[in-house]
Structure 1
Amino acid sequence: MKIGCHISVSKGFYPAAQRAVELGASSFQIFTKNPRGLRPKKLDMEDAKQGAQYCETHDLAVVAHTPYITNLSTADPELWEKTVSSIREDLEIASAYGAVGAVVHCGKHVGNGEEYGTKRMVETLDTILEEYNGSTLLLLENTAGQGTELGQSVEKLMEIRHQTKYPEKIGFCFDTCHAFAAGIWNHESYHELVHTMDETDYLDHLVAIHFNDSKAPYGSRKDRHEKIGQGEIGADALRLFLEDEHFQHLPVVLETPVANELEYADEIQYLHQLKGGV
């Protein structure tokens, strides 16, 4: 299991990789561009090459994350065009970094209904992936179900993947906080969740885990991350993922609220203790 955290790339990808090692991480996540914007990013190929080589040397797993403001289910032609071009670019950047996957949030139907939203999301994914042949998978992340978000359950995510023309280019990123807030797992229903993941073949396409406690209660449909053991999920429930043989090969990335990235060093160490390591 490669336990790590989210790292800023404001100083470059290569420095971000170095920071990850300094913090004791064996995986890390970066944003491909400003998370609240869609402006194209000029890729520094030398930085990407140095960073990718450094990650290979230090056996670091990289997870990329696309900006928040895209919408795979939008009916707005302008936002749709921006979403497609932005995520295409994100995949190319993620590939240059050697990332195992580029995480994207599922679509929001914005009042047009789940059926329309799902159909539109599949169409958008097909358009994005049509000409993409890189090694990085596009990872659909389960949602907390805020507003009109789609993709809360394992079953729905698998349906979306099956409906696309390019399922081989799509994987999943599982967020513990989102799933708890969506009401699909808690301490008592953990084994039922893993059974569903197994039965639907979701596990075969799971590439990364976002490891977060939740400020909001179970089933609240509110996406509010908290530090491990300080939220509504609790350390005992989250420990189940760390100990489960199904997830030992995956990057497990913290996205918990910190004032400074240095705080992640202690939290990474805490996760190793929870897991039963040093």
Structure 2
Amino acid sequence: MKIGCHISVGKGLEHAARRAVELGAESFQVFTKNPRGLKPKKLDREDAAKGVAVMQEHEITLVCHTPYITNLSTPKPDLQEVTIRSILEDLNIAEAYGAVGAVVHCGKHVGEGEEYGTRRMVETLDLILEQYDGPVKLLLENTAGQGSELGLTIPSLMEIRGATRYPEKIGFCFDTCHSFAAGQWSLETFEQLVEQMKSSGYLEHLVAIHFNDSKAPFASQKDRHEKIGKGEIGSEALAKFLTADSFEHLPVVLETPVDDEQEYAEEIVYLHQLRQAGQLS
């Protein structure tokens, strides 16, 4: 298991990779571009190569995250076209960065209904993936269920992946806060969650975990991240992910709220302590 955190790539990938080393991160996540925009980003390949070299030297795993504002289910042709172009760019940036995957949020049906939204999402995914043959997987992230979000449950995510023409190019990123807020797991139902992941086939395509506590209560359908042990999920429940054999091979990335990235150093130490305590008990 490689425990890490989200890091700014504003000063380049090499700087972000060295920052990860300073923070004690064994994995980290960066945005491919401005998370609130779809403006194309000029890729600095020299910086990317230097960043990859640092990660290889320290055996650090990178996960990329696409902008929040993309909507794979948009009914508007012009927005669908922009989304396709943007995510293709994200995949190519992630490839240059040596990332294991590029996380994308599931679509929002924006009032058109779940059936339409799912169908449109599959169509958009196909239009993206028919144009990309690189090694980076597009990682569908489970949602909290805010508004008209799709992809709350493991079966629905497997259904979306299975409906595309390119399932082999799609993996998953599991967010602990989102799933808790969607009413999909808690301390009492952790084992059932893992069993569902296994029996559905989801687990074999799981590439990364977003590790967050939740400010919002169970089944609130509100996406509000909190520091580990400070929220509604709690350390005892979250520690189960750190000690479960099913997740041993994965990067576990903190996206908890911080005023300064240096705060992640302490939280990473805390996660290692939780993991060690769980293994000894």
Task: Report the TM-score when normalising by structure 1.
Answer: 0.99
Which residue of the partner structure matches residue 126 of structure 1? 126
After superposing on structure 2, the runs of 4+ consecutive aligned residues of structure 1 that deviate more than 3 Å are none
Q: CA deviation at 1:77?
A: 1.3
Which residue of the partner structure matches residue 173 of structure 2? 173
C-alpha separation between the residues in 2 aligned to 1:166 and 1:14?
Answer: 32
Q: CA deviation at 1:131?
A: 1.6
C-alpha separation between the residues in 2 aligned to 1:77 and 1:26?
Answer: 41
C-alpha separation between the residues in 1 aligned to 2:82 and 2:269?
Answer: 40
Structure 2 residue runs without a partner (length 5+): none
Which residue of the partner structure matches residue 66 of structure 2? 66
C-alpha separation between the residues in 1 aligned to 2:76 and 2:122?
Answer: 16
Letter in 2 for 1:244: A
Q: CA deviation at 1:202?
A: 0.3
C-alpha separation between the residues in 1 aligned to 2:246 and 2:21?
Answer: 25
Q: Counterpart of 2:162 in 1: which secondary structure?
A: helix
Identity %: 69
Which residue of the partner structure matches residue 114 of structure 2? 114
Matches within 5 A, 1:134-149: 134-149=134-149
Letter in 2 for 1:247: F
C-alpha separation between the residues in 2 aligned to 1:257 and 1:91?
Answer: 26
**CA distances 1:60-96 after superposition (whole Å, capped 9, x unpaired):** 0000000001100000112111100000000000000
C-alpha separation between the residues in 1 aligned to 2:121 and 2:194?
Answer: 26
Q: Counterpart of 1:149 in 2: which secondary structure?
A: coil
Which residue of the partner structure matches residue 80 of structure 1? 80
Q: Are residue 27 (structure 1) and residue 48 (structure 2) matched?
A: no
**CA distances 1:108-156 after superposition (whole Å, capped 9, x unpaired):** 0000000000000000000000020111100000000000000000000
Task: Report the TM-score when normalising by structure 2.
Answer: 0.98
Q: Counterpart of 1:172 in 2: which secondary structure?
A: strand
Q: Counterpart of 1:271 in 2: which secondary structure?
A: helix
Which residue of the partner structure matches residue 194 of structure 1? 194
Q: Are residue 208 (structure 1) and residue 183 (structure 2) matched?
A: no
Letter in 2 for 1:243: T
C-alpha separation between the residues in 2 aligned to 1:17 and 1:136?
Answer: 19
**CA distances 1:239-267 after superposition (whole Å, capped 9, x unpaired):** 00000000010000000000000000000
C-alpha separation between the residues in 2 aligned to 1:76 and 1:186?
Answer: 37
Letter in 2 for 1:209: I
Q: Counterpart of 1:188 in 2: which secondary structure?
A: helix
What is the number of residues matched between the two proteins? 278
Which residue of the partner structure matches residue 254 of structure 2? 254
Identify the range of structure 1 (128-137 vs 173-182) with the bigger mean alpha-carbon deviation. Answer: 128-137
C-alpha separation between the residues in 1 aligned to 2:36 and 2:77?
Answer: 19
